[in-house]
Structure 1
């Protein structure tokens, strides 16, 4: 009797482990798996100094299987960069000493880590810490909600100062032992304010068409690239949406998106982190590719996807104190298996459950927890 071949289908647990456990190269850095921790502001660093609790927070997640930690946003060394004395800073002797210990602990736990370098631009409110007298500033003095506020349009000298601050922070990151850097160019903050026509109304070389609007951001990227070694990864996070304009778009077509991304890739971006509210939503009509998928297709660079991974409901509702139930990741795995993108950044699910990566990789999905916005305020 002739034997019939038997097709063995991988179990959901083994499939997740197989797909997510593959190492990935980001320039000169090899990340042990495809899981990243998304940056999430927590305001647990009085004086801008990350302490023992911050070290434990990141190391605990690295020990549980997160391959790449992207820290919460950290203010670069420019007085107008932020508006809280409890958000960590990436400048200053005490602050950098604290971050060096964070990197050391994450490495000891088996993970890799990059700081997210941040300038909030016109989002800043007047009179806020850490430098109360510093003015809000942006490309045209216009806030992401369309109001002019009390800020100022940046002078050429201001542009140079901010470029220098990003470069100095990147150099410091490499010096104290980090594995790369991420530049925050998303969600309506300073770099994004230059990319978006809604906030960039300049009439000089830094405003105008989409390519002109990339000029300042490309100069930041180039300065960062020049301040670190050639193999040190430079990640750029960007988004279509803004925190005050969820329907805003940098680009309506793939061609418009290419015009924005190409100068940034040429300036030295190694990896694009494409921020969306829901990772499963197609970005443009006629294709199922999400924003990270289109970014990889257009630039050829590795990409990181993010947006409600593991949860049914986007994070905007978390700001209103709403929770979110657990959602499966089968479609996410399908996309990752097709190489639509290279890594998956997990936000609220990892904030809620430090063991999320370990559970997913081991097939313990029945142990995953729904997101509880109130409970996470006390978690570390």
Structure 2
């Protein structure tokens, strides 16, 4: 029997029959132009339908001009100009037997009222309260505003229906406008739209009823809810259950999509790598008991088909979202059905290519899957066999080199991969040893399986030299030797000095050495961070859990500036403080002397000395270019990853992919 059989069972959702239980829920792509979905959006969704998903949702479609969105590339669904794009979307998704629902949204105060010069406005809100994240104060909606909003939901749904989409979801979760009406934290109205749970549900029911009346019974209508906001005074699980019962008893909805959180607790909605498991499934199970037989959809953190199948088999939900899993591998369903499960690329929860980019207003892609958003150029079927297979030597077994080797070999080239260490993975394998970051090892394992699949000749423990390359006689060389961390204390923020004065008076380690040999750090460790990334803080947590006294010093406004948008900070900071880590922002190490490290405030020079056994410099990296000139003198060479310029794993994998395609 197929171990995933529960997932492949069809499900009736109102008038719509879904071929399986696997769902891609709404998530921001930001491929829009002029605030309308584009062919790039259609291509993205088509790839997930082609890969076997049963139900696909569009990203949030704003229902009214007062919801301009958090970025210029946010999509507007109320404009009739979107209908031709919806038509292409419906045709593309239906071709593979999948269904597609439109996500009907209004962002409320989770917006900036003056972002767009042509649409300055007062933001709509239930009670004139500000957003907790953007601090924009909205104006309390009048009854005329509410009537206009209700009509806008119906009009936008009608655009989707006439274009051939299969249903609509009323988005009442995540702190958006309808969620803020549901929440006692943000709805303090005293009219019929505030007060009791029934009253706070009124606007959601009115919007959904208008959609139903506009579109009729042959168009599915659902609602997405935050069953708890994880915020004092907001919706908790008990209130969420009351909301579920009221909406289910309205006899309007064909299904319920259960999520959680608001804008200030979004790290509970899209859990980062450090949060294991599926934290929202039990909420869905509770909703299912209260939903009166309506199908229930659960989301967040489901990356394995086995977990999804268990959720269905145990009756905790009827549909399972595997959204980030489909960003990482849009063909995971069909691979499993074809017995090719070992070829699936897994989401590792890094949130670097998806949530991080969304929050900045950038277009979505994926750390593991650079084809995300580039389906026409890098998607399934775009990789062609080489007409003249070559002998290719890849130097370096980090993510860039592994991806280059895999891609080149998949095109028929004869590939040898040389790695000087005894294991593949580059610096990512050390990141996987940090507390809560073990899923990086999943990415390495995925890549190793691909190398095996395409018969790459992997040689570890080999120091690549020019003489060895001459012996191998390659037609093409890919240089992916990565980078090394500097330990001189040089900082771009203090470019006038060559490094930290007096650094020779203390043991200095780079972060890799500190991870591998923590005993060398001693008991009192000072970590100097110039990157703003996870590494320094993750290392601090790891060392503190071993009983060491750890302080992190950064000149940045706060430590971990670059991981705010990956949603790590809200989980990481409490763990750091619980472990006793001292986090000192807006300071530098002025010098090291006989009393220890002199920690100095950047604004006024106020200083203190702290005794330390070691300093770990998480600062600059230098590319490993020792072989480059000699290789270029004799061979055809591609340079990828950190050896080109030290950056993130996302760029390394993309460049490896492109190098493999270009040979």
Please give the TM-score of this superposition, normalised by the length of structure 1. 0.83
> CA, structure 1 residues 85+146, in 2 after alignment: closer, same or farther (shift >3 Å)?
closer
1:58 to 38, 42, 45: 45
Correspondence for 1:19: 6
Q: Does the 8 Å contact 1:146/1:198 carry over to 2?
A: no
- After TM superposition, where is structure 1 displaced by more than 4 Å over at least 4 residues in a row? 245-249, 278-283
Residue deviations 1:215-252 (CA, integer Å, cap 9, x gap): 1111111111111111321010111355xx66775234
Q: CA deviation at 1:49?
A: 2.1
- The alignment yields a C-alpha RMSD, in angstroms, of 2.4
- SS of the aligned residue for 1:304 comes to strand
Q: Does the 8 Å contact 2:57/2:100 carry over to 1?
A: yes
Residue deviations 1:40-81 (CA, integer Å, cap 9, x gap): 101111112222211111111101101111111111133235
> CA, structure 1 residues 85+96, in 2 after alignment: closer, same or farther (shift >3 Å)?
farther
> CA, structure 1 residues 30+367, in 2 after alignment: closer, same or farther (shift >3 Å)?
same
Q: CA deviation at 1:357?
A: 2.0
Q: How many residues align?
A: 341
Q: CA deviation at 1:129?
A: 3.1
> CA, structure 1 residues 94+147, in 2 after alignment: closer, same or farther (shift >3 Å)?
closer
Q: Does the 8 Å contact 1:126/1:150 carry over to 2?
A: no
Query: How does 1:151-300 map onto structure 2 within 5 Å?
Result: 151-242=138-229, 250-253=235-238, 256-265=239-248, 266=250, 268-276=252-260, 277=269, 290-299=282-291, 300=293
Which structure is larger by alpha-carbon Rg, 1 or 2? 2
Q: Does the 8 Å contact 1:239/1:275 carry over to 2?
A: yes
Q: CA deviation at 1:159?
A: 0.6
- SS of the aligned residue for 1:46 comes to coil
Please give the TM-score of this superposition, normalised by the length of structure 2. 0.49
> CA, structure 1 residues 173+297, in 2 after alignment: closer, same or farther (shift >3 Å)?
same
Distance 1:129 1:80 in 2: 11
Correspondence for 2:90: 103
Unaligned runs of 5+ in 2: 261-268, 354-364, 374-663
Distance 2:79 2:134 in 1: 33
- Identify the structure with bigger relative contact order (alpha carbons < 8 Å, sequence gap 6+): 1
> CA, structure 1 residues 171+147, in 2 after alignment: closer, same or farther (shift >3 Å)?
closer
Unaligned runs of 5+ in 1: 1-9, 284-288, 311-327
Q: Does the 8 Å contact 2:161/2:215 carry over to 1?
A: yes
Residue deviations 1:307-356 (CA, integer Å, cap 9, x gap): 1111xxxxxxxxxxxxxxxxx44343222013321111111111121112
- SS of the aligned residue for 1:214 comes to helix
Correspondence for 2:419: none
Distance 1:27 1:45 in 2: 30
Q: Does the 8 Å contact 1:121/1:189 carry over to 2?
A: yes
Q: Does the 8 Å contact 1:120/1:190 carry over to 2?
A: yes
